[in-house]
Every structure is written in structure tokens, then in C-alpha cells.
Amino acid sequence: MNNTIETILNHRSIRSFTDQLLTAEEIDTLVKSAQAASTSSYVQAYSIIGVSDPEKKRELSVLAGNQPYVEKNGHFFVFCADLYRHQQLAEEKGEHISELLENTEMFMVSLIDAALAAQNMSIAAESMGLGICYIGGIRNELDKVTEVLQTPDHVLPLFGLAVGHPANLSGKKPRLPKQAVYHENTYNVNTDDFRHTMNTYDKTISDYYRERTNGQREETWSDQILNFMKQKPRTYLNDYVKEKGFNKN
């Protein structure tokens, strides 16, 4: 096993960082690593907004659900789906591509491009001894997030990435068993296999929480996920995404 794979397999989310800020060189390395990710048809349909202004970080922390590590980290990155530059290029050339930019395929391209870039950055950061934590909470109030970041139409903030020097290391959460996520040639819909896999995993997660909390929590993965799914989702997103010029057709 090489160092890259060891870094990937050793991943855990870090939610407590020291006060040490990332250097300009570290930020440059992380952004270049993100840019090296694969991109669909060379479209490069994403942008990264680095947030260093303490007040903006504080505002984003509140909007993300009062998560302190959005404000207190080495550097905060916001990954955006970005078709703005493509729209601008078309206007300069007198081309009309709004219908193309607004279709579902380009929306998916921009989402996937941004996610690939972010994961490249995450692996690079962890290989440098830094910690990371993805922040989906910025989608709680995207209208206010776009005001803070001053993003134009055709730019959609998707998630944040807090990066910094870990103050302490959290435990690694056990992932689903391989057989739950990997299927050979066809999707396995055997209910007995499913039930056995889920029961085994639920016990693993229950044991993990019990040990981590000294018996204060024994929740299974199934219960945790089903309770999460019952929560009211960000129902405004469908309309807001369209308002920003994405996924209209």
C-alpha cells in the first residue's frame, strides 16, 4: 500500500482546528491540486472562493447552522458550480447558449466537476498533514450566502471546505461494507443479502457509538439515516437553483 492510498484510507472529518492560518504557498498548492482533477469535456465548470475575511467567515458560520469550524480554521474554501464564464464568453462572441447552460446535463457537469476538484483538494490537504471538513450547511440559506460572496447568476455555491491544522484527531467512522456499495455487472437486489449486510453494519455502528460515548449513544446507522431522511429538506433549492440559471430544462 502506497502513501496516497494510506492517506485516503486514513480520512476523518476534523472539526477542531488550531489558530494557525494556511500560508499563501499552501493555498496555492491546494488550488492547483483541485484544478488537476478530471473535468467533463474540459469544461471546468466550477470555481473556488477562498474566504479569509474574518467577518465573512463569521457570517458563513452563522448561515451554515452556527458551525464554529466554518469560522475557526486555517482557510475556508467554497466550491461553486460555475457557468458564468461560459455565458460571458458566448456573449463576447455573439453566441446564444443560454438554453444549453440551463439544461440538466450542464447542471450535472458543473456539480460533478466541483465535487471532483474538492476531493482532489481534500486528499492533497490530508497528504500535507492538514485536516478537512466538508460543509453542506451553506445551502441552508443560499440567498444570503450568495450575498456574502457576491456570486452572479450562473454561479451556485454548493458546499464549503474547512481546511486547517487539526487541534485533535477524531475517530474514523466505519464505512458501509464493500458488498453494500460494490456490485459486479448487475445491481444486487437480493433482500437476504441486503438484510444481512445492514444488520452487520448496524451492529458495527452501534458498537462504535457506544465505545465513543461511554455507552451514552447506541444508535444504529439505519435509525440515524432514517431519522435524517424524515427531516424537512431544503425545499427552496429547486426554485433557487433555477433562479440562478441552472437546471431549467
- pLDDT tens for each residue of the chain, 249 residues long: 899 999 999 999 999 999 999 999 999 999 999 999 999 999 999 999 999 999 999 999 999 999 999 999 999 999 999 999 999 999 999 999 999 999 999 999 999 999 999 999 999 999 999 999 999 999 999 999 999 999 999 999 999 999 999 998 878 899 999 999 999 999 999 999 999 999 999 999 999 999 989 999 999 999 999 999 998 789 999 999 999 999 999
How far is Cα 139 from Cα 236, in angstroms, rounded to an integer?
10
Nearest to 101 by CA among 80, 76, 83, 81: 83
How many Cβ atoms from other residues are within 10 Å of residue 138's Cβ? 26
The pTM is what?
Answer: 0.95
Rounded Cα distance, 207 and 230, in Å: 24
Neighbours of 105 (CB within 10 A): 11
**246 closest CA partner among 146, 116, 160, 137:** 146
- Integer Cα distance of 75 and 118 in angstroms: 14
Q: Which of 75, 58, 77 has the alpha carbon at shortest distance from 120?
A: 77
